[in-house]
Amino acid sequence: MKLSENKLDSILKGRAGIFAIAALFLFRLAFGLCSEFWFEDELQVYLIGLKFYTTGQFPFFGPDVVYTFSQIPGALQGLLVGLPFYLWPVPEAPYILLNILSTAALCFLAYYIGKRIPGLPLWFTWLWVLTCPWVLNYSTHIVNPSYVLPAAIVFFIAFFESIPKLSTGFIKQQYSFLLMGICLLWIFQLHMSWVLLIPFIIYSISVNFNKGFKASLISFAVFLCGCLVGASLLIPTLITYGWKDGLGGTSGNIVLNWANLGQIITVFTRYLSLASFELPRFIGFTNVKRIEFIKEYIWVSPFIIFAGLMGFVQPLWMIIAAFLKNPYPYFKRILLITGSAFIITWLSFLFSVKGPSSHTFYVLFPLIMIYSFYCWKPLLEKKWIKYLAIIFLFSGLVFHITLMRDNYKRKSMYINRQVPLKAIQEKNYHILGERRNFDRNP
């Protein structure tokens, strides 16, 4: 009896599959609600939406870029956080919308990976995509990179489907260009990493010139239509403040930073870790903090240590797999694109005021995740690897439940939920906190 096909895969079929996805959604929502709330970045993004709700003033600008005292233009971030309060005026409301968006997008990615790489165990594909550390920690709680993920997933699926030699027919080509345009302007209003998507768009349009000038012109026109749709919440800002002031000072983030050229190894390891079980980052920023965490939860330490070790093995295997013969369709092209994206990311930091933190190129998560499954496919054909994968996923679940418990008592809004609740009820965002003094919203 085959382990994947007859037993574990069955949980993702029919009503059982719907129940499993609903359970994963609730788990992700609970994890997000127990995550960081009071740290400045999270609190400030929450305040953008809360300010919109409590004052009724249109949020012309979104997340702050603290390094240059600038602010990303567009109303998208404020509306994504603020509109849910109109439907249900409780502190948890924005989390529900965020997790609906992110869980739906991750299901879309898992489904697409299954179509692109036939024969993968569904149970591993879906559970890993929806519960790996980066998507749990950066798509379930309120901070602007969390809102990047849904658009990034749709963008990269559309990108692959726009390339004739990579397309699986999953999305019609013209729809692909439309979606890329919408997603680009979605991300433009949330995070500075949108610039990393430009080379993909240029490549996609250029390879389509082989189909003729007219076809390429139509593709470009459809892409621009998508950009116009995505910019619908950006245009009011540009009209009201003009082009110069309407950009919120974000052009100041482009500086020549030669020091970042020496960060190639750092960028490379963090790039691969996006699709790995990167555990140390999320339990503490120093080894002392990490050891304290393990000591505090010593009864689950074997699971934590095992998952952490796998988090080191995964990037190593992704490197090794690049040099091995891979019989699966499109692998060489996927490898080339994934490798090129790394080079572009590394070089982009030459013009960045900030160093190469992982979340600054989190937008590339879908790309590296798709590549990683080409690496896992040959391994997952071995029965003992499937058993090992079950232990790995279970260990990850134990770790995340432990982390959720730890975050709940140390970082979550439930330390003092009455404060955001009172701010919502009295429609006074000042009760929760003050926006940064360079906030450009009225």
Q: Per-residue pLDDT for 394 more than 50?
A: yes
Distance CA(149)–CA(405), nearest Å, equals: 25
Q: Are residues 265 and 334 in the same domain?
A: yes
CB within 8 Å of 142: residues ≥ 6 apart: 32, 37, 42, 45, 46, 81, 94, 95, 98
The pLDDT, as a whole number, for residue 1 is: 39
Query: What whole-number percentage of the chain has pLDDT above 90?
Result: 80
Determine, yes or no, domain membership for 365.
yes
Identify how many contiguous H helices and E strands the chain contains and give both numbers: 20, 2
Average pLDDT over residues 110-134: 95
The pair of three-digit structure tokens given for residue 429, joined into one six-digit string:
């965002």
Instruction: Say if 416 falls within a structural domain.
Output: no
Q: Are residues 391 and 279 in the same domain?
A: yes
Q: Is it the case that residue 271 has pLDDT exceeding 50?
A: yes
pLDDT digits (tens, 9 = 90+) for 147-187: 999 999 999 999 999 998 899 999 988 899 999 999 999 99
| pLDDT-derived band at 314, boundaries 50, 70, 90 | very high
Q: What is the pLDDT of residues 35-60, one digit of tens each?
A: 999 999 999 999 999 999 999 999 99
Do 21 and 159 lie in a common domain?
A: no
The mean of the pLDDT values for the chain is 93
**What is the tally of structural domains in the chain?**
3
Residues 180 and 121 grouped into a single domain:
no
What percentage of residues in the chain have a pLDDT greater than 70?
Answer: 97
pLDDT higher than threshold 70 for residue 113: yes
Same domain assignment for residues 151 and 55: no
Mean pLDDT, residues 379-390 taken together: 94
131 located within any domain: yes
Residues 6+ apart with CB under 8 A from 176: 158, 159, 161, 162, 204
Based on the domain organization, do 73 and 88 belong to the same domain?
A: yes
3-state secondary structure of 73: strand
Assess if residue 435 is contained within a domain.
no
| Helix ranges restricted to H, 263-327 | 264-273, 280-283, 287-296, 301-321
Tell which wins on pLDDT, 436 or 11.
Answer: 436
Residue where one domain finishes, among candidates 188, 218, 233? 233
Give the pLDDT mean for 401-418: 96
Residues 113 and 28 both lie in one domain: yes
Task: Determine the pLDDT at residue 12.
Answer: 63
Question: Six-digit token pair at 231?
Answer: 């910019």
- Pair 432, 50: CB distance under 8 Å: yes
pLDDT digits (tens, 9 = 90+) for 340-364: 999 999 999 988 878 888 889 999 9
Higher pLDDT, 218 or 76: 76
Using the 3D structure, point to which of 165, 199, 233 is the last residue of a domain. Answer: 233
Q: What confidence tier does 9 reach under pLDDT thresholds 50, 70, 90?
A: low
Residues 265, 398: one domain? Answer: yes
- Is residue 209 domain-resident? yes
Q: Give the range among 5-9, 59-63, 316-320 with minimum mean pLDDT.
A: 5-9
Based on the domain organization, do 271 and 407 belong to the same domain?
yes
Instruction: Using the structure block, give the residue that is written with the tokens 């997008």.
Output: 105
Q: Domain of residue 185: give its range.
A: 147-233
Residue 6: burial class (beta carbons within 10 Å; 0-12, 13-18, 19+): exposed
Among 194-198, 270-274, 284-288, 315-319, name the one with the lowest average pLDDT.
284-288
Look at residue 8 in the predicted model and tell me its pLDDT: 58
What pLDDT does 16 receive? Answer: 79
Q: d(Cα 121, Cα 131) in Å, to the nearest integer?
A: 16
